[in-house]
A and B are shown apart, each in its own frame.
Chain A
Amino acid sequence: MSRRSTGFALLAVVAGAAACSDNSATPTEPSTLAPSAALQETKWSNPNAHIMPIKSQAQDAHNTAGGGGGGTGIFYHGGPVLQSGTKVAAVYWAASPIFTGGPAAGTNGAGSGDGSLVGFFLSHLGGTPYFNINSTYTDGSGAKIVNSVTYTQYYANNTSVPASGASVSDAQMVAMLQAAFDAGKLTYDAGTLYNIFTAAKVNLGGGFGSSYCAYHTHGTVTINGVARTVLYSAMPYNNTYPGTCTNGTAAPNGDPGADAEVNTLAHEIEETTTDMMGTAWFDRRGYENADKCAWTWGTTYTTANGGVANMNIGGKDFLVQRNWVNAGSGGCAVKY
């Protein structure tokens, strides 16, 4: 390149850059709300943010995963399920009964001793056409999930009770379960979902009412010196936030707290049954079975007391979200 052409090239670069840097004064547009400086930042706000796989990686995962799902809209990813039947326990972590008719504080025993509406729901959920939807899912060998839920035990734990407004972490929940196992108040079982209930306004998990209404997960406890996985759900008192954690309709059993709670309780039991570790059944958006139908009811009816329900379980009416049927072309339903 000649000296002259080099000079022109330099001038062109400089001129171009200068044009890009044009920063002419401009009038301020009207705004009734103060602009936010934070809006300009790109920094991630949460160090725990998950890095998700890119699309091609996700598709590879679907292609190589065992099991199927076919055209039902949900896929098996090889992880464990509660195939032979789901066992549930209730842990009422409060100074007094959380739900009407619930077990007295400090007591523990078989599920049949729980007189609350939540206890009734847990005792009658197995074998219903509603829970039978989960039998459309299989384990890695292709064996169908059994339509069975057994309410094995409860513990009305009134020790170290979280105060109203207190935030309770997962570590604290696992520590509470560990203490209950150690004290013999609860019996450990790897295939049992321990549902932890707390009283109104307790922020169980730290994001209650703003991030979720309930959730299922798992932790590690030590049983006879051996580290074991424990399945549990955080079940804060949903009626604390009627606008975000209940359907807002009249309670079919006249028990607003328990009537609302069974909806998310069913959600967690169904998801634990088919995706206990987050590695079994979910769709391409990361939705588990109950996620795909959350807050949808199908056909509802008015109960004798003026409440709204969509199903009858064991002789009582309930309003419980639909669940995803993993058969045919898939879809939300209240029975199968």
Chain B
Amino acid sequence: MTSERTIQERGSGPRHELLAQLSLAMIIAAIAASPARAQSDARPGTRSSASISCAPLASSRGPTFVWGNEAGTLRPRRLRLWADGSLDDTHARTRGRAEIADSVRALATEARRSAFWTTVSPPITHPTHNPDLAREYVAVALTCGHRRSLYPVDAEPLAFSALLRRLNAIARLAEAR
């Protein structure tokens, strides 16, 4: 048979066959472990090399998160959240609090690890199907880099809208007092 001939041609007996099978098993195991690592990175609350070097921008250097809406007929809104927990909502600014600062740090880590960090906003060069739809944006500034994404309100990927919901939740907490 062709397969037997091939083995015989390549190998030199049972020892070599065992080594070949062992190597193959190790490769498969290594490949299988890669998604596990990816999942681990995506899991909130765990620390990786990325989170160690990726901290929210120091408050003196600017806000960690900037988000809001622009375009269309909805009145524009812009919120800015600093690492110290202070929040600027278009006009009013609230002072920072420790628990809000903790939330900013946690959400920054999560944003860096999540699919948000790899989303690429499609360029909008023509009016959308509803030309007066607002567009929502989120910008994240960390010590290791920054990202800004913008989408029409009905075309946001889940990672984007999830981050937006979390930011709005933090904003409500910050403005609660």
Contacts and interface: CB of A to CB of B under 8 A. Distances in A.
Interface stretch (B1-9, B43-51, B59-67, B140-148): B43-51
B92 interface: no
A99 interface: no
Nearest to A287: B71
Given A21-B36, A207-B133, A213-B73, A33 B157 contact: no
A17 B159 contact: no
Interface stretch (A49-57, A124-132, A150-158, A302-310): A49-57
Contacts of B37: 20-23
A17 B131 contact: no
B19 to A, nearest CB: 7
Contact of B127 (A11, A20, A30, A278): A278
Nearest to A291: B71
A7 B20 CA distance: 9
A22 to B, nearest CB: 7
B72 interface: yes
B154 A48 contact: yes
B155 interface: yes
Contacts of A43: 157-158
Interface in A223-282: 243-247, 264, 267-268, 271, 275, 278, 282
A27 interface: yes
B156 A35 contact: no
A32 B106 contact: yes
Contacts of A294: 71-73, 76
Given A212-B130, A217-B130, A291-B132, A23 B106 contact: no
The bracket for how many chain B residues form the interface is 35 or more
A294 B71 CA distance: 7
B158 A45 contact: yes
B124 interface: yes
B30 A21 contact: yes
Contact of B27 (A17, A28, A40, A271): A17
A31 B44 CA distance: 10
A190 interface: no
Given A29-B106, A286-B127, A286-B128, A42 B158 contact: yes
Interface in A14-68: 14, 16-18, 20-23, 26-33, 35-36, 38-46, 48-55, 58, 61
B126 A278 contact: yes
A226 B109 CA distance: 59
Contacts of A141: none
B163 interface: yes
B175 to A, nearest CB: 13
A7 B27 CA distance: 12
A120 interface: no
A17 B23 contact: no
Interface residues of A, number: 74
Nearest to B109: A29
Interface string B151-167: 01111111101110110
B105 interface: yes
B137 interface: no
A278 B40 CA distance: 45
A264 B75 CA distance: 11
A42 B134 contact: no
A114 interface: no
Interface in A162-194: none
A291 B72 contact: yes
Given A55-B123, A294-B72, A32 B99 contact: yes
A13 interface: yes
A212 B133 contact: yes
A33 B47 contact: no
Contacts of A246: 75
A295 interface: yes
Contacts of B94: none
B34 A21 contact: yes
- Top 9 nearest A-B pairs by Cβ distance? A17-B30, A35-B44, A21-B33, A31-B106, A215-B132, A58-B125, A49-B155, A26-B47, A38-B162
Interface of A: 3, 7, 10-11, 13-14, 16-18, 20-23, 26-33, 35-36, 38-46, 48-55, 58, 61, 77, 205, 207, 209-217, 243-247, 264, 267-268, 271, 275, 278, 282, 284-288, 291, 294-295
